[in-house]
Amino acid sequence: MSRRDLGIRGPEEMGSPREGFLREQRPERASRDRSVQAPPVLLTATDRLILVYLGGLAGLAAFSHPRPGLLLSGIGVLALSVVGVALWGARSGLGRVTHDFFPVPMVVCTFSLTGPVIAATNPVFWDARFAALDQELFPGLAAAWYGALGRPWWLSEAAAGLYFSYYLIPVAMGVALYRAGRHAEFDAFAFTVVATLLVSYVCYFVTPTLGPRIAIDREAAVLGGAGLSRGLRWFLHAVEFNQLDAFPSGHTALSLVFLALGWRLFPRWRLPLSLLVAGILFSTVYLSLHYVIDLMGGALLAALMPIFLPVLRYGVGARDHRPSSNARQRPDDQPIRSKRPPR
């Protein structure tokens, strides 16, 4: 009986030790290939978070609103839009960019649809309580804040511009991350911003508050200012259909959140971001849009977000692998190249 019949190979059949080593490594390499080439997830973590919120909003609308048909239709359109844009993003470059920035219009539309559901779910407003708390905890502070420097027109204009910058700063930070190819950080940034906003929306259901707003027909005479102030008032009336958003202050919460994010992501932006955030916080009370206690609530929410974020991400699924992320897909026939320098 020959050696071949016994299954014993000679040295000439076994090849070199290096070839044997490579044959032994193929299963591990195949496993690594499968991990690198994991199929992309259609819906990002931010998409799933928005859909979860919309589902809860639809349930509340159906249960509490006397005529929920129009609201449910709007919520359905938003949910279908999230899925539709995600499908488009998986098929084209333009769709991918649109998908990545689609949370911007989504949170605006979701905010508008939240207002009527809040009013139907909890009709007890907290304005009287928070106004009394302002007087008890911060006696004279709100009046001094509102009347700073005698309310000159230029200070009202500066406050209007600073208040509006709240809407631009997170978009500018997202664009900067995206253009730099920092897609993983972009995804985390988008999830954090959207999560902060949605958590603040949930808080509005508990403590619906209008804030110390001035009647529309008296705004120009009482608040003063010029072109920027008029433009801001027009913008707020056109966009913020939900006015039950005073406590906690979303401007405060999100401003502190993107200041903390910007401190780490954009070290060169630290000083201008700090000045802008300070100006935003000043403008909220100066323009008679928030009680002082609203700012305290917003600061507390910002401080709690590091606790909420891991819970929310776990709840919607942490996996977020997309073509726009830093992970690159490698063809099957492309070898794994070591990053070690050649000897």
The per-residue DSSP string of 257-294 comes to HHHHHHHHH-GGGHHHHHHHHHHHHHHHHHTTS--HHH
Cα–Cα distance list, 231 to 169, 227, 282 (Å): 18, 6, 19
Lowest-confidence pick of 143-157, 219-233, 262-276, 285-299:
219-233
- Which of the two residues, 338 and 305, has the higher pLDDT score? 305
- 3-state class (DSSP) for residue 231: helix
- Which of the two residues, 272 and 8, has the higher pLDDT score? 272
Lowest-confidence pick of 10-24, 192-206, 272-286:
10-24
Which pLDDT band holds residue 324 (cuts at 50, 70, 90)?
A: very low
What the block records as the tokens of 71 is: 């609201």
Spacing of C-alpha 201 from chain mean position: 12
Q: Does the pLDDT of residue 263 top 60, yes or no?
A: yes
Q: ∠ CA 81-85-88 to the nearest 5 degrees?
A: 145
Q: What is the pTM of this model?
A: 0.81
pLDDT average, residue stretch 92-97: 94
Which pLDDT band holds residue 216 (cuts at 50, 70, 90)?
A: confident
Cα–Cα distance list, 340 to 34, 303, 337 (Å): 22, 42, 9
Q: ∠ CA 331-336-341 to the nearest 5 degrees?
A: 140
* Residue 171, C-beta contacts closer than 8 angstroms, at least 6 positions apart: 104
Q: Does the pLDDT of residue 7 top 50, yes or no?
A: no
For the chain, percent of residues with pLDDT exceeding 70? 80
- 3-state class (DSSP) for residue 141: helix
HSE-CB at 285 with a 13 A cutoff on CA atoms is 24
Cα–Cα distance list, 211 to 163, 253, 283 (Å): 16, 16, 14
pLDDT average, residue stretch 226-243: 88
Which pLDDT band holds residue 215 (cuts at 50, 70, 90)?
A: confident
Which pLDDT band holds residue 221 (cuts at 50, 70, 90)?
A: confident
Q: Does the pLDDT of residue 137 top 60, yes or no?
A: yes
Spacing of C-alpha 58 from chain mean position: 21
Nearest-angstrom CA–CA distance, 256 and 237: 25
Nearest-angstrom CA–CA distance, 294 and 292: 5
Phi, psi of 211 (to 5 degrees): 85, 170
- Is residue 205 packed enough to be buried (19+ CB in 10 Å), middle (13-18) or exposed (0-12)? middle
| Contact call for residues 155 and 272 (beta carbons, < 8 A) | no
Residue with tokens 């960019």: 97
Cα–Cα distance list, 103 to 73, 93, 201, 244 (Å): 19, 17, 15, 22
Which pLDDT band holds residue 322 (cuts at 50, 70, 90)?
A: low
Lowest-confidence pick of 28-37, 46-55, 193-202, 305-314:
28-37
Q: Does the pLDDT of residue 220 top 90, yes or no?
A: no
pLDDT average, residue stretch 252-276: 96
Question: If you ran DSSP here, which 8-state letter would residue 333 be given?
Answer: T
Q: What is the pLDDT of the chain when averaged over all its residues?
A: 85
Residue with tokens 């009394």: 132
pLDDT average, residue stretch 54-67: 95
- Amino acid making up residue 296: M
pLDDT average, residue stretch 39-51: 86
The pLDDT of residue 237: 86
Lowest-confidence pick of 29-33, 45-49, 232-236, 284-288:
29-33
Widest Cα–Cα separation across the chain: 110
What the block records as the tokens of 89 is: 């993003």
